[in-house]
A and B are shown apart, each in its own frame.
Chain A
Amino acid sequence: MRARLLIFLGIALMATAACKREQRVFDPGSSGAQVANGVALNDVHAGGPVPPFNASKYEGSAYAVGEGKRLFAAYNCSGCHQHGGGGIGPPLMDAEWIYGSRPEQIYSDIVQGRPNGMPSFAGKIPDYQVWELVGYVRSLSGQLPSDIAPARSDEMAVKKAEQAKKKEHPADENPQNVEHPK
Chain B
Amino acid sequence: MMLAAVPGFTNNQSSLSPVGPGAGRTEHEFALIFWITLAVYVLIILYLVFVVARKHHSLDTIPDPLPTTDEGDRTARRSVVGAILVTVALLFIMMIGSFETSRALGSMNEENALTIDVYGHQWWWEVRYPNNESYKIVQTANEIHVPVGVPIRIHGTSRDVIHSFWAPNVQGKRDLMPGYETEVMMQVDQPGRWRGQCAEYCGEQHAHMSFYMVGESKHEFQQWLDAQAQSSVPPSTPQSAHGQQVFLTHACVMCHTIRGTPAGSRVGPDLTHLASRKTIAAGELPNTIGNLGGWIMNAQAIKPGCRMPPNQMSGSDLQDLLSYLETLK
Contact = CB atoms under 8 A, between A and B. Distances in A.
B130 interface: no
Nearest to B178: A154
Contacts of A154: 160, 178
Contact of A27 (B249, B297, B301): B301
B230 interface: no
A73 to B, nearest CB: 9
Interface residues of B, number: 21
B267 interface: yes
B251 A125 contact: yes
Contact of A26 (B253, B265, B305, B311): B305
Contacts of A75: 254, 267
Interface string A118-160: 0000011110110000000000000000000000001000000
B254 A30 contact: no
Nearest to A129: B309
Contact of B309 (A30, A32, A34): A34
A124 B254 contact: yes
A19 B265 CA distance: 35
B297 A31 contact: yes
Interface in B299-319: 300-301, 304-305, 309-312
A31 B301 CA distance: 11
Contacts of B298: 27, 30-31
A174 to B, nearest CB: 35
A74 B251 CA distance: 13
21 contacts: A26-B204, A26-B304, A28-B309, A28-B310, A31-B312, A34-B310, A34-B311, A74-B255, A74-B265, A75-B254, A75-B267, A123-B249, A123-B250, A123-B251, A124-B250, A124-B251, A124-B253, A124-B254, A126-B251, A126-B311, A129-B309
Given A34-B310, A123-B251, A128-B309, 18 more contacts: A26-B204, A26-B300, A26-B304, A28-B300, A31-B298, A31-B311, A32-B312, A33-B312, A34-B309, A34-B312, A74-B265, A75-B254, A124-B250, A124-B253, A125-B254, A126-B251, A126-B309, A126-B311
8 closest A-B pairs by beta carbon, nearest first, are: A26-B304, A31-B310, A126-B309, A26-B305, A74-B267, A27-B300, A31-B312, A35-B312
